[in-house]
Structure 1
Amino acid sequence: MSVSGTPAPATSPVSPALAALRAAGESSDADLVAEFLAPDIVFHSPLTARLRFEGKEEVVALHRDIFAVLDDLTTTEPLVLGDTGSFSFHARVRGVELEAMNLVRCNGKEQIVDYKVFVRPLPGLVTLFATLPPRVSARRRGRLTGALVASLARPLAFALRTADLFAPRFL
C-alpha cells in the first residue's frame, strides 16, 4: 500500500534522508544508511524499550543484521512534517510477513538523529524477535551469548505465534 500526497518541500532536512533510508532497505545496503546518519544517532529497539543503539557505527552494524534477516523488503512513500518523517515497509522474516513503520527525526544537516521502528502483526514481530536478537547478541557479545538469547527467544516466539492462530477465533 503506497501513501501518496504532497511531497515534502525541497528544504526539508528529512526528505533526502528518507529517500536514502528507503533505497538502502530495498537494496539491503547498510553502507547507504551510513551516509545519512548523524554521528550521535540513537536507534530505539522495536523489540524492547530497554535497549537503544547509539552511534553511527553501531546503527550501521545493526542494519547489516536487519538486512540479513529480512527478505523482499518494499517501502511506501514517506510522510514528512518539519524535521520528522516516516514511511512504512513490508518484508518477510523466515517466511513470516511483517509490516513496520519507520519514524525518524533529522537535524539541519539532513542527518538522522533519532530513529524508531514499530512492527506488526504479532507473528511477524515475534519471528523477528526470535531471529534478530540472537544475531545481534552473537555479533556484540559472542556466539555463546547469541545461542543463549536464541534459546530464550525462540520458545516464546513459538508460543505467541501459536496463540495468534487460536486466540482470534475466540474474539
Structure 2
Amino acid sequence: MDAVAVWRAAGESRDAARAVTALSADVTLISPITERFTFRGREQVGTLLEVALAEIDGVTYTDQAGDGPLVALFYEARIGAARIFEAQRLRLDGEGLITEITLYVRPLPALTLLMNRLGPELARRNGQPGLARVVPIAGGVLHAMAESGERRIMPRVAPRP
C-alpha cells in the first residue's frame, strides 16, 4: 500500500476511515491550533479526522515534496466561506505507514474558524459537554480578532505599488 496516496485520496473524498488505514498504530498528530496537546494512536487521530473532514470542504491536494520517510503535502479547501490552506509534514515508518503528522494552517482567520468548528465536537466526544459550550465563546473572540486583523488592519500595512 502507498500510504501517502491513500491518505491523499481519503482526504479528498472525506473518508476518515480510509485515511486511518494509512496510519501506523502509534501515529502522532501534532495540532496546528496549539502545542498543548497532540493526538496519539489511530483511535484519537481517527476521531479528529472524522470531525475535521465533516467541516472541511473541497480538499484538493496541490503539491507533494519528498517520497522517502519524510513527505510534505499541501492542500487547498474551504471551511464555511473561508479558504484554508494546509501543509502536512508526514513521517513514515519502516513499513511505509504514516507515523507522525504535523499540520500547518493559514490564514489565521481560517485556523481560528477551524478551532471553533472542531473544538465543540471534540469536547463532546471526550465527554466534556460543558467545555463544548465554552470553546465557541473563547474561540469566537480569537476569531473576531483574527478576522478583523485580516480584513481591516493588515491591508493597511501591505506593500504599496
**TM-score of the pair, normalised by structure 2:** 0.91
2:61 to 71, 75, 88: 75
- Cα deviation for residue 54 of structure 1 reads 0.3
| Equivalent-residue separation in structure 1 for 2:121 and 2:144 (angstroms) | 18
Higher relative contact order (CA 8 A, sep 6+): 1
Question: What root-mean-square deviation, in Å, do the aligned CA atoms of Structure 1 and Structure 2 show?
Answer: 1.4
Note the 1:8-157 alignment, pairs <5 A: 16-157=2-143
Secondary structure in 2 aligned to 1:76?
Answer: strand
Secondary structure in 1 aligned to 2:138?
Answer: helix
**TM-score of the pair, normalised by structure 1:** 0.86
Name the amino acid aligned to 1:51. Answer: F
- Listed as ranges, the gaps of 5+ residues in structure 1 are 1-14
Name the amino acid aligned to 1:78. Answer: Q
| Equivalent-residue separation in structure 2 for 1:105 and 1:134 (angstroms) | 29
| Equivalent-residue separation in structure 2 for 1:170 and 1:160 (angstroms) | 15
1:18, 1:78 within 8 Å by CA — same for their partners in 2? no
Name the amino acid aligned to 1:62. Answer: L
| Equivalent-residue separation in structure 2 for 1:32 and 1:94 (angstroms) | 24
2:63, 2:75 within 8 Å by CA — same for their partners in 1? no
Deviations 1:114-162 (CA, angstroms, capped at 9, x unpaired):
1011001122112112211222112113322211112211122112101
- Cα deviation for residue 96 of structure 1 reads 0.6
- Listed as ranges, the gaps of 5+ residues in structure 2 are none
1:78, 1:87 within 8 Å by CA — same for their partners in 2? yes
Match of 1:7 in 2: none
Name the amino acid aligned to 2:111. Answer: L
Deviations 1:34-85 (CA, angstroms, capped at 9, x unpaired):
1111111100000001110001111011100010110111112421153000
1:45, 1:52 within 8 Å by CA — same for their partners in 2? yes
| Equivalent-residue separation in structure 2 for 1:18 and 1:81 (angstroms) | 9
| Equivalent-residue separation in structure 1 for 2:66 and 2:145 (angstroms) | 38
